[in-house]
Amino acid sequence: MDHIIRVPMGKSNSYLIKGNKGYILIDAGTQNKHENIKCALKRFKANLSDIKLIIITHVHYDHVGSLYQIKKESTAPVLVHTSEQADLANGFTYFPKGTMAFSKAISNISNKFFLSKKQFQPIKADIIIDDSFNLNTYGVEGEVIHTPGHTRGSICIILEGKYCFTGDTMFNLLPGSVYPPFANDEELLIESWKKINSYNCLKYYPGHGKEFDKEKFKISLAKRT
Q: Is 33 in the site for Zn ion (CB under 5 A)?
A: no
Rounded Cα–Cα distance for residues 199 and 213 (Å): 13
CB of 169 to Zn ion, least distance (A): 9
Q: Cα–Cα distance between 11 and 195 in angstroms, integer?
A: 27
Of 10-18, 83-91, 116-124, 189-197, the window that binds Zn ion (rule: CB under 5 A) is: 10-18
Q: Which is nearer to Zn ion, 99 or 140 (CB)?
A: 99
Of 18, 52, 60, 117, which lies in the binding site for Zn ion, with binding defined by CB under 5 A? 60
E strand spans, the chain: 4-9, 12-19, 22-26, 51-55, 78-81, 127-129, 132-134, 142-146, 155-159, 163-167, 203-206, 212-213
- Contact call for residues 143 and 132 (beta carbons, < 8 A): yes
Which CB sits closer to Zn ion, 53 or 59?
Answer: 59
Using the minimum distance from each CB to Zn ion, give the nearer residue, 93 or 220.
93
Q: Does 27 bind Zn ion (CB under 5 A)?
A: no
- Pick the closer one to Zn ion by CB: 18 or 60: 60
Q: Which of 27, 62, 87, 211 binds Zn ion (CB under 5 A)?
A: 62
Comparing CB distances to Zn ion, the nearer of 173 and 202 is 173
| C-alpha dihedral sign at 198, 77, 96, 177 | positive
Residue selected from 27, 84, 87, 168 as contacting Zn ion according to rule CB under 5 A: 168
Q: Decide the pairing of beta strands 127-129 and 78-81.
A: parallel
Q: Is 197 left (phi over 0), alpha (psi -120 to 50) or beta?
A: alpha
Which region, judged by CB under 5 A, interacts with Zn ion, from 12-20, 108-116, 128-136, 196-204? 12-20
Question: Which positions lie near Zn ion, rule CB under 5 A?
Answer: 12, 60, 62, 168, 207
